[in-house]
């Protein structure tokens, strides 16, 4: 039987045994594969041997025309030839790939003695930056950072805070409720404020207490200044002899450090919150310049006005009692402000929705460098 093998595979001479023919073909192909200098040459050899018109493919196709005895004798040899050449091709390809990778890695070696690339590769989000700024400021005043679950029960989120069952804040149009209840039959929800963290802290920690509770909160609202998820920071102080003067000093000190201005002027207006009594809305003086609000200055001065910034008050006696503390012994104040709102005022954003769009252009413009760590000594927003 005589086979003409294309492209470098020798023609089988008459009189040679079939086994020696296969062995000669295998030796020749194996030598060519081992000598292949690159992946293109190796692919060409694969096509010669195993392609549609390849020499080994032709042998496999010839099995159908053989007698049963010939097929039984030559079939295993042809299949063994295919497997051997396939393995040789894979081995050589792995070796060439490894060599190419070594060359690439050698060419891409980094010289650690060169100056660092100053081009920005990413940025810290404005909300994260402001969170760090708040933490630094309040830590200097002796406050610790407290956290709590974002999925809350209605007792911690409403009842313990002296919010009655009929209060509008509990309505479905304001609060995201879950269909299930907890083991005690309490409704489960996404917290609407970080006040439950204050409740959990008072229940689990002995006074005196000085904490801030920053974190994500959720309410059913969405426009240029409201989103369904936003960030809030609340503060709580529980101690003996606490009064409104301590609250005003704390807020004034905080806002002067945050806005990095000494001309911050506050105005406390009587208000009502279920969890504080007395309660006060806190206004800050500002001036409109070039389409943005610049915080600072007295609100009654020429060109200045008052802007509502946060809510505050003395912790309600019922809230203190709900947490297992004696309101005749312990008093305290609390306050809350939107972190996103603080970021907008300080850094000049005008649309809260852009905070969560993931637009790289916005992030590059309003983001902060990874090394821009706020410190009171070096400047909060340096």
The string of DSSP codes covering 92-152 is: HHHHHHHHHHHHHHHHT---TTSPPP-S----B-HHHHHHHHHHHHHHHTTPEE----SEE
Cα 234 to Cα 242, 271, 308: the distances in Å are 17, 17, 16
Torsion of CA 343, 345, 351, 354, to 10 degrees: -20
What number is the average pLDDT over the span 241-268?
94
| Pairwise CA distance, residues 101 & 201, whole Å | 56
Hey, which of 18-32, 78-92, 164-178 has the most confident mean pLDDT?
Answer: 78-92
- Sorted by sequence, the CB contacts under 8 Å of residue 319 that are 6+ apart come out as 160, 161, 162, 199, 275
| Pairwise CA distance, residues 81 & 22, whole Å | 7
Are 320 and 348 within 8 A, CB to CB?
A: no
List pLDDT tens digits, range 47-78. 998 888 888 888 888 888 888 888 888 888 88
Using DSSP's 3-state secondary structure scheme, residue 17 falls into coil
Residue with tokens 């850094």: 347
CATH number for 126-359: choose from 3.30.930.10, 3.30.565.10, 3.40.640.10, 3.50.50.60: 3.30.930.10
Burial classification of residue 68, based on how many CB atoms lie within 10 Å of its CB (0-12 exposed, 13-18 middle, 19 or more buried): exposed
Q: Are strands 144-145 and 209-218 parallel, antiparallel or unpaired?
A: parallel
Are 319 and 336 within 8 A, CB to CB?
A: no
Q: Token pair for residue 329?
A: 């012994």
Q: Where are the domains of the chain?
A: 18-107, 126-359
Element (H, E) at 295: strand 292-295
What number is the average pLDDT over the span 40-51?
90
Q: What is the CB neighbour count within 10 angstroms for residue 146?
A: 21
What number is the average pLDDT over the span 308-321?
96
The pTM for the full model equals: 0.66
Hey, which of 42-56, 228-242, 282-296 has the most confident mean pLDDT?
Answer: 228-242
Confidence of residue 121 (pLDDT cuts 50, 70, 90): low
Lowest mean per-residue pLDDT among 128-142, 143-157, 172-186, 198-212:
172-186
């Amino acid at each position: 039987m005589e086979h003409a093998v294309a492209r470098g595979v020798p023609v089988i001479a008459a009189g040679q045994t079939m086994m020696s023919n296969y062995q000669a073909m295998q030796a020749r192909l194996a030598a060519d594969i081992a000598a292949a200098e690159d992946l293109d040459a190796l692919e060409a050899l694969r096509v010669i041997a195993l392609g549609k018109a390849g020499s080994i493919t032709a042998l496999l196709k010839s099995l159908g025309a053989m007698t049963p005895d010939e097929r039984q004798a030559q079939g295993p040899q042809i299949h063994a030839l295919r497997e051997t050449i396939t393995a040789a091709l894979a081995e050589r390809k792995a070796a060439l790939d490894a060599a190419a990778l070594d060359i690439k890695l050698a060419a891409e070696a980094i010289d650690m003695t060169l100056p660092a690339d100053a081009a920005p590769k990413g940025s810290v989000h404005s909300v994260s930056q402001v969170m760090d700024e708040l933490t630094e400021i309040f830590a200097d005043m002796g406050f610790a950072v407290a956290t709590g679950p974002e999925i809350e029960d209605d007792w911690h989120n409403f009842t313990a805070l002296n919010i009655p069952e009929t209060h509008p804040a509990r309505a479905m149009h304001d609060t995201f409720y879950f269909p299930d209840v907890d083991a005690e039959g309490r409704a489960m929800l996404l917290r609407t404020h970080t006040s439950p963290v204050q409740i959990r802290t008072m229940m689990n920690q002995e006074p005196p207490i000085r904490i801030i509770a920053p974190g994500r909160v959720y309410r059913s609202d969405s426009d240029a200044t409201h989103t369904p998820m936003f960030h809030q920071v609340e503060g709580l102080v529980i101690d003996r002899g606490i009064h409104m003067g301590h609250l005003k000093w704390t807020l004034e000190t905080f806002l002067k450090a945050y806005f990095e201005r000494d001309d911050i002027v506050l105005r406390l207006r009587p208000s009502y919150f279920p969890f504080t009594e007395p309660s006060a809305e806190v206004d800050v003086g500002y001036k409109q310049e070039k389409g943005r609000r610049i915080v600072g200055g007295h609100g009654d001065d020429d060109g200045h006005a008052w802007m509502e910034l946060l809510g505050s008050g003395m912790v309600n006696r019922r809230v203190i009692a709900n947490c297992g503390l004696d309101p005749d012994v312990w008093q305290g104040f609390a306050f809350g402000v939107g972190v996103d709102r603080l970021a907008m005022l300080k850094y000049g954003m005008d649309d809260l929705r852009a905070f969560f769009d993931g637009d790289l252009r916005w992030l590059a413009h309003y983001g902060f460098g990874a090394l821009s760590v706020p410190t009171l000594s070096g400047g909060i927003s340096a």
